[in-house]
Amino acid sequence: MKISCKREQLLAGFQTAATVAPARSPKTILRNVKLEVTEDSATLMATDMEVGVRIEVMGIDVQTPGSVLLPVSQFGSILRESSDETLNLVADTQGTIISGDRSEFKLSGESPDEFPSVAGFDAESYHEVPARLFKELVRRTLFATDAESSRYALGGVLLELTDDNIIAVATDGRRLAKMEGPARKVGNHGMADTMTIVPSRAMQLIERALGDTDAEIKVAAQANDILVQSERATVFSRLVDGRFPKWREVFPDREDSTRFEIAVGPFYSAVRQAAIVSSEESRGVDFTFGEGNLIMSGLTAEVGRSRVELPIPYTGEPITVTLDHRFVADFLKVLDGDRTVTVDIQGSDAAALFLTDDGYGYVVMPLAREK
């Protein structure tokens, strides 16, 4: 194999692929990224046998097609530290030579023929989803997962697809995030009775691999795995095995609650202020809504107390609910500061519900108030 490549373009693709390659594995070959070039394409591949990625790389001039295994640590360092705009790679059975204008490196490596195959996208039935929407689905739900849970399969994001809609749900048992938006069914792609729970790590990879694009992506869910294809990348992942909680039963649908809107930016700032006196053991903040104000009160014996006021358009009788300030902040920080959020509260013992006008909902369970 003999190629010349634009260093920055190869670096961007290589760094994304490298996040999949395990730093430690009894299969040392997995600590590499495979580069496969033909006369008209170049593809980076990486896998840990549970998650895999294929990334098309531009800016490569192919003199001789072929393939090579590139060790993540050493080759990644070369790409990052080099100041050359263009690098030359020559690979044969003796190793790989990487050269620039004033530098040359030779890396030994394993045979690319021994590298496990990484699935490409060959599904005929799938859903098409706007890439920007899918990135928002990930960003607005991923933080609510719980990889430590042994009771439910909470270490991933649940995806539900209908003929014209996609729903992503994540929960750790104490809060639940749900985001939905439009999707288009192609062929007879259906979810059947299986639960499509995508591991958190795979969702992070998908978000990173999508890039900033307005294009549509393809999502093909099967019984045990999922494939997601964007313009330049394909991500494969096995699904989380287990049952996801019946999230619709958690999401409150109530008619006797109190609703009003709050601007995200000031709300987020006030929550951060109220949290200043919190500690790892005392994370509860009293949120008192009423009489035109939201009063957030924090108290930690060994630190001190806080009291922060924020004007709100609710002038009724005060309602106080104690919430983990981190959970409220997690929700607010994935939103633009200039938008508004609808707050739905019912009482001190009921879950707090936060809603936006673009399909995002968030439930936070109350904490027991300290006497």
Instruction: Give the residue range(s) of CATH 3.10.150.10 domains in the chain.
Output: 2-114, 126-248, 252-364
Confidence tier at 352 by pLDDT (50, 70, 90): very high
| Total Cβ atoms within 10 A of residue 142 | 20
Burial class (CB in 10 A: 0-12, 13-18, 19+), 340: middle
H helix intervals, 256-358:
264-274, 325-332
Per-residue model confidence as pLDDT tens digits over 127-167 = 999 999 999 999 999 999 998 877 778 999 999 999 999 99
Confidence tier at 105 by pLDDT (50, 70, 90): very high
Q: What is the pLDDT of residue 370?
A: 58
The CATH superfamily label for domain 126-248 reads DNA Polymerase III, subunit A, domain 2 (3.10.150.10)
What average pLDDT does the structure give for the chain?
A: 92
Per-residue model confidence as pLDDT tens digits over 41-94 = 999 999 999 999 999 999 999 999 999 999 999 999 999 999 999 999 999 988
Q: What is the CATH number of domain 252-364?
A: 3.10.150.10
Q: Which residues, 6+ apart, have CB-to-CB distance to 255 below 8 Å?
A: none
Identify which has the larger pLDDT, 214 or 170.
170
* CATH architecture for residues 2-114: Roll (3.10)
Q: Is residue 270's pLDDT more than 80? A: yes
Q: Which residues, 6+ apart, have CB-to-CB distance to 155 below 8 Å?
A: 145, 146, 147, 148, 149, 199, 200, 240
CA-based end-to-end distance of the chain: 72
The residue-averaged pLDDT of 111-135 equals: 94
Question: How far is 323 from 309, CA to CA, in rounded Å?
Answer: 16
pTM: 0.91
Confidence tier at 193 by pLDDT (50, 70, 90): low
Question: How far is 230 from 219, CA to CA, in rounded Å?
Answer: 9
Q: What is the pLDDT of residue 123?
A: 92
